């Protein structure tokens, strides 16, 4: 996996965030991550794979491309590009293949890349957090790469009633469970770590 830009880039909107006033999201939350190129607006493939769509959606994604990742099996969707990509459907691409230039086509307020990774290509509810997939720190601003590659794994939670659940997360330097922690804290829980499990208490 590599970052979706040839040069340096920044994150302007994280996965899972609520829509701004007056905007509605189909799934109720932001199912991708928004990037803006700093030094170069050229968008490149994050992972080697096969192009499964090259299309235009005036109500949403503008000019977009879908690439099914050879290793992750996830479908990456690159949106709002300036023009139709030169990549044809069925083409096999390398991890740094040029997809197109950052643009502002479709439903946008400014130029950026909306990037999604989905388990099922046509179902936004199966989208996973691009920061996890790419192994980057999940905060807005210039993208910080984390030294070791992070893999999505099942993070085990122990609930107050001792019931155990597991959710997608990634482990690095102990554990990072930002998305789930935010959710639980929003629900009024405290979230800790006992060395093996994430412990959730009231």
**At its nearest, how many Å lie between Zn ion and the CB of residue 149?**
24
Contact between 166 and 154 under an 8 Å Cβ cutoff? The reply is yes
Residue nearest to Zn ion (CB): 114
**At its nearest, how many Å lie between Zn ion and the CB of residue 148?**
27
What mask of x and - would describe binding to Zn ion in positions 6 to 45, judged by CB under 5 A? --------------------------x-x-----------
**At its nearest, how many Å lie between Zn ion and the CB of residue 30?**
6
Hey, what long-range contacts does 163-172 have (CB within 8 A, 24 or more apart)? 164/197, 168/128, 168/129, 168/132, 169/132, 170/132, 170/135, 172/135, 172/146, 172/148
Question: What are the residues whose beta carbons fall under 8 Å from the beta carbon of 183, sequence distance 6 or more?
Answer: none
108-137: which residues touch Zn ion (CB under 5 A)? 114
Please report, for residues 39, 47, 120, 143, the alpha-carbon distance to residue 117 in angstroms, rounded to integers and kept in the order given: 24, 11, 9, 17
**At its nearest, how many Å lie between Zn ion and the CB of residue 15?**
9
Instruction: Please identify, using beta-carbon distances, which residue of 80 and 198 lies nearer to Zn ion.
Output: 80
Instruction: Please identify, using beta-carbon distances, which residue of 32 and 69 lies nearer to Zn ion.
Output: 32
Q: CB count, 10 Å around CB of 138?
A: 20
**At its nearest, how many Å lie between Zn ion and the CB of residue 13?**
6
Contact between 37 and 7 under an 8 Å Cβ cutoff? The reply is yes
Instruction: Please identify, using beta-carbon distances, which residue of 129 and 200 lies nearer to Zn ion.
Output: 129
* Site for Zn ion, rule CB under 5 A: 32, 34, 114
């Amino acid at each position: 996996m590599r970052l979706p830009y040839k040069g340096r880039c920044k994150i302007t909107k994280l996965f899972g965030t609520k829509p701004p006033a007056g905007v509605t999201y189909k799934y109720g939350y932001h199912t991708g991550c928004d990037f803006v190129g700093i030094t170069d607006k050229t968008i490149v493939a994050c992972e080697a794979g096969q192009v499964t769509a090259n299309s235009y959606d005036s109500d949403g994604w503008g000019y977009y491309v879908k690439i099914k990742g050879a290793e992750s099996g996830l479908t990456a969707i690159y949106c709002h590009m300036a023009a139709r990509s030169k990549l044809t459907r069925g083409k096999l691409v390398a991890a740094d293949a040029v997809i197109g230039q950052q643009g502002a086509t479709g439903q946008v307020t400014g130029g950026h890349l909306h990037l999604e990774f989905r388990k099922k290509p046509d179902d936004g509810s199966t989208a996973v957090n691009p920061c996890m997939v790419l192994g980057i720190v999940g905060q807005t601003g210039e993208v910080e790469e984390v030294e070791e590659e992070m893999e999505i794994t099942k993070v085990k939670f122990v609930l107050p009633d001792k019931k155990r659940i597991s959710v997608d997360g990634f482990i690095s330097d102990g554990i990072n469970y930002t998305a789930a922690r935010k959710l639980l804290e929003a629900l009024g829980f405290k979230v800790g770590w006992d060395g093996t499990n994430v412990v959730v208490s009231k």
